[in-house]
A and B are shown apart, each in its own frame.
Chain A
Amino acid sequence: MIFDVIEKSLGQPNRLIPVDGLLGDCDGSRMPDILADRLTAAIAQTVVDICPTTALRIEDYEGRRCVRLSYGQCIGCGKCIEFGGGAVVTAKQFTRCGVAKERTVRRWDIDSRTEITASTLPPDAARMQIHSLLQRALNIRQVDAGSCNGCEAEITALTNPYYDLERFGIHFVASPKHADMLLVTGPVTRNMADAVKSAYEAVPGPKLVVAVGACGCSAGIFAGGYAIIGAVDEVIPVDGYIPGCPPTPAMLVTGILEVLRRRVAK
């Protein structure tokens, strides 16, 4: 009976993870991190050669030879960690969620064994406008532009009792016309391109778009396929990127809040 179900449910302990336990948590995503002091030219070449999606590359940056790690392309396969000779480890914290595309890329100078830190970027107008208008309320319309459904499974998990996205005043809505933010997953396929554009146009301004997952950020492992257009930003403008294959619910929470600048720098 219906009351037995409710009674049974009430007997369960609270599972809610406090927000501080979510922000920056990337357990289960196998995002790599590079220990600069252990980096050698040989290790750099090895990990670049085995990376299946060119997330790792060697490039010249401002006249320095560096390893470039593009998190937006990383599918978390862990090969660089396996063969990186201790210089590549599983990241314990990952905060590059919901950030601008430039910030999903890190570079390490191979010769001086240091990370090259980029200058910080100014917050953009739409994000600040939405934040000032809505404060703690946000409606999200999720759009699958061709994903494998791994990202959908994790986005669905955001509403479970561990993450409970609604506690932040954030809701998933059925229509783009009710939405402030589009959360777009997957490489955009040829067959979905028009629908993605229509959904974007139906969202009233000011609006935000977040590209989710390696495929949303960069087409991921599907890059170059005949039936896909590519990353989400090849079809509609994107305000923030959440890497991962798939990003864990904690990374999604971190990313969505980051895009909103909920925690505006004091």
Chain B
Amino acid sequence: MNENTQAALPHDGRNPSGARPVVPRTNEGAPARLVTIFGSLGPNREKRVHYIFDRGVPEYGEIVHSTDGALESITPEVPAAAWYERELHDQYGIEIVGHPDLRPLIFHDNWLDEVYPMIDPVDDVPWSNREYRFLQVQGEGVAEVAVGPIHAGIIEPGHFRFSVVGDTILHLELRHFYTHKGTEKLFEGRAMEDGAMLAESVSGDNCFAHAVCYSQAVEAACAIDVPPRALGVRRIGLELERLACHISDIGGLCTDVGFGVPAAYAARLKESLLRAASQCCGTRYWRGIAIPGGLRFDLDSGKVAALTQVVARAHRDFSDIARLILQTPSIQDRFETAGILRQKAARDLAIVGPVARASGIDLDVRRDHAYGGYGQLEIPVTHYGDVMARARIRIAEAKVSAQLIQEEGKSLSEGSVFTPFVSQDGVQGFSAIESPRGELCYWIEARGGLLTRCHVKSPSFQNWPAMPFAATGNIIADFPMINKSFSLSYSGCDR
């Protein structure tokens, strides 16, 4: 790394090349939780691999490896690393020695072997027809059911390959990255100030979380202090996004079990929040508001107050209907014991967000790696790990978010909402926030004010590999509901 480079994170260790990184331990001696792994190019175009871990302390820890060729896989010790190492292989052509499954992840049959978009210019890659082999489950009565990439509803594309006996799922293999748009590469060459609008398009329904997280990474890199009013407005936006997503997810779960009335009810509540947001800040999803340094413009305090009133009303209605939904016997019959994600699997795969908290993992970035002025928070956790647990967690979190919006609305400080800054040369910045789906991270590096690398760790990329563990043993007809209870973004995962 360049001498001028500011280290955004404390380094747990650095290893010149070759060997595998030593997985750090928590104070209790357990392996630290893997946050993300990504590659970058150094000033002399040497390949570097960054490992970010959470050792159970407020500061995240980073290990950087320089490598010219092969790197030893940490997947056998840290199963959560599996997709990250495959992505590293696809993007940078780094050979991962000892990885149990190095099939292409983000590139499909149409891509060429040995074309690595993060190190080579990649205009007009010719079309190819490589072979991709799904894992085959063999035995008497085993059938394969292929679903997707285009699904039956208004949802994003992805492929599920079920191996079933009768109705029961024996094995599920995911094949995603249909919406891979090369977004991380598109960040490169952009001015640091202009990256937020691209971050908003990584996952559209969590666009404010992405914009804030990106902005925080730039703020960390350039040591910018964001004014308190801007932080307060950001917290309102973030909690509103969480509330809208959770309401929408509960409605979606009802849709997937054929319970149309509460689904329409939830859709109405979500719409009331979006319309109130539009009145308050001009866009329904808070697009184009957060930028590095604070906010692009201030929000009128009267309009914020009107928004908090709509939130209070929507949440009151939501908590009533949510209680009634969970008391409905046919809902209990469908939700309970369906799609159980055991805590062991969740820990091995370093699962984040509401899915983790429904499987007994007490983790929330807002509290554990505090950012953006969040104070004391109630974090609901339960250990059942089924669809019902994930529904209950979302309902409980919606309540916390609605309360936070009320408190923030009342205590919003006065003053400016933007700190002007001068972008510095050779900087790195890291930021993590609790998006509605869980821990979202941005890591940026810039030279001369232009981004040279932007890595997005989306909670969906982290959580998708857990889906097969929750689905196995269930009947295939319950899969849409189990899938919805995870509520993952395809675009956020695929980028």
* Chain A residues near B (Cβ < 8 Å): 1-2, 4-6, 8-9, 12, 15, 27-30, 52, 75-78, 82, 90, 142-157, 159-162, 172, 174-175, 186-187, 189-195, 199, 215, 220-222, 224-228, 245-246, 248
Contact = CB atoms under 8 A, between A and B. Distances in A.
A159 B267 contact: yes
B204 A153 contact: yes
B480 to A, nearest CB: 12
23 contacts: A5-B325, A9-B321, A77-B288, A82-B296, A82-B297, A146-B157, A148-B491, A149-B491, A152-B154, A157-B270, A161-B268, A172-B153, A172-B154, A174-B152, A174-B153, A191-B180, A192-B149, A192-B178, A199-B150, A220-B201, A221-B197, A228-B181, A245-B201
A155 B154 contact: yes
Contacts of A2: 259, 328, 330
A52 to B, nearest CB: 6
Nearest to A187: B181
A152 B178 contact: no
A9, A28, A227 interface centre (most CB from chain B within 10 Å): A227
A153 B205 contact: yes
Interface string B298-341: 00000000000000000001001100110111100000000000
B155 interface: yes
Given A160-B270, A248-B284, A148 B265 contact: no
A191 B122 CA distance: 16
Interface string B252-272: 000000010110110110110
Contact of A4 (B157, B264, B327): B327
Nearest to A164: B264
B454 to A, nearest CB: 14
A186 B157 CA distance: 11
Given A30-B288, A152-B155, A191 B261 contact: no
A192 B151 CA distance: 13
A193 B108 CA distance: 12
Contact of B157 (A90, A195, A224): A195
A5 B259 CA distance: 10
Contacts of B205: 149-150, 152-153
B461 interface: no
Contacts of B317: 12
Interface string B229-267: 000000000000000000000000000000101101101
B203 interface: yes
A225 B181 contact: yes
B149 A157 contact: no
Given A225-B186, A227-B182, A161 B264 contact: yes
A159 B275 CA distance: 15
Contacts of A195: 149-150, 157, 178
B194 interface: yes
B150, B274, B297 interface centre (most CB from chain A within 10 Å): B150
B287 A144 contact: no
A161 B327 CA distance: 24
B447 interface: no
A90 to B, nearest CB: 7
A188 B383 CA distance: 41
B101 interface: no
B252 to A, nearest CB: 9
A264 B277 CA distance: 34
B204 A160 contact: no
A246 B296 CA distance: 19
Interface string B148-192: 011011111100000000000000000001111111011000000
Contacts of B277: 28
Given A6-B261, A149-B490, A157-B267, A143 B329 contact: no
Interchain residue pairs A-B with the least CB separation, the first 4: A150-B204, A28-B278, A160-B267, A227-B182
B262 A9 contact: yes
B300 to A, nearest CB: 15
A186 B178 CA distance: 12
Contacts of A194: 110
A5 B284 contact: no
B283 interface: yes
B198 interface: yes
A52 B152 CA distance: 34
A153 to B, nearest CB: 5
A259 to B, nearest CB: 18
B282 interface: yes
Contacts of B297: 82
A228 B180 CA distance: 8
B321 A5 contact: yes
B441 interface: no
Contacts of B117: 226-227
Contact of B185 (A12, A226, A248): A226
A192 B157 contact: yes
Contact of B282 (A12, A28, A225): A28
A109 to B, nearest CB: 29
Nearest to B194: A52
Contacts of A148: 179, 201-204, 207, 491
Contacts of B197: 52, 75, 77, 221
Contact of B110 (A191, A215, A228): A191
Contact of B324 (A8, A90, A172): A8
Contacts of B452: none
Given A8-B324, A144-B155, A153-B205, 19 more contacts: A1-B327, A9-B265, A12-B268, A28-B278, A75-B197, A142-B154, A143-B150, A146-B178, A148-B203, A149-B490, A150-B207, A160-B267, A162-B275, A191-B107, A192-B178, A220-B201, A221-B186, A225-B183, A226-B125
B371 interface: no
Contacts of A220: 201
